[in-house]
Amino acid sequence: DTEVTQTPKHLVMGMTNKKSLKCEQHMGHRAMYWYKQKAKKPPELMFVYSYEKLSINESVPSRFSPECPNSSLLNLHLHALQPEDSALYLCASSQESIRGQSNQPQHFGDGTRLSIL
């Protein structure tokens, strides 16, 4: 069992829908990450939060909106997505980061598999 919990595990949505992905950890980690992973490809970093502040946004389209309401929770709000946004979305956390870059091992959730119709 993973210590980083992601919900839902699967999500199917239309291009006009609004939905949110959720990520939760109770390890006291102060850095949290969102990744996007397409099939047979490595993950791509999207966002990094460090001490509940957004520290890295890797030029992600505004239809993806991250939120870190507290040190244990990380959300990814989705709106007006495109079919090419279908992917596995992974959340991770680590003990700390310096300027958003992890210098501690990251712990990953099992992801949310997102399909856009």
Contacts to another protein by CB under 8 A: 2, 4, 41-45, 48, 56, 58, 90, 92, 98-111
Alpha-carbon span 23 to 6, nearest angstrom: 5
β-bridge partners, 112: 89
In the bound state with another protein, the residue whose beta carbon lies nearer, of 78 and 90, is 90
Provide, rounded to whole angstroms, the least separation between the CB of residue 40 and another protein: 9
β-bridge partners, 115: 12
Alpha-carbon span 103 to 73, nearest angstrom: 21
Provide, rounded to whole angstroms, the least separation between the CB of residue 16 and another protein: 29
Phi then psi dihedrals of residue 19, to 5 deg: -140, 170
Provide, rounded to whole angstroms, the least separation between the CB of residue 53 and another protein: 16
Provide, rounded to whole angstroms, the least separation between the CB of residue 41 and another protein: 7
In the bound state with another protein, the residue whose beta carbon lies nearer, of 79 and 107, is 107
In the bound state with another protein, the residue whose beta carbon lies nearer, of 86 and 104, is 104
Cα dihedral: 72, 78, 84, 86 (round 10): 50
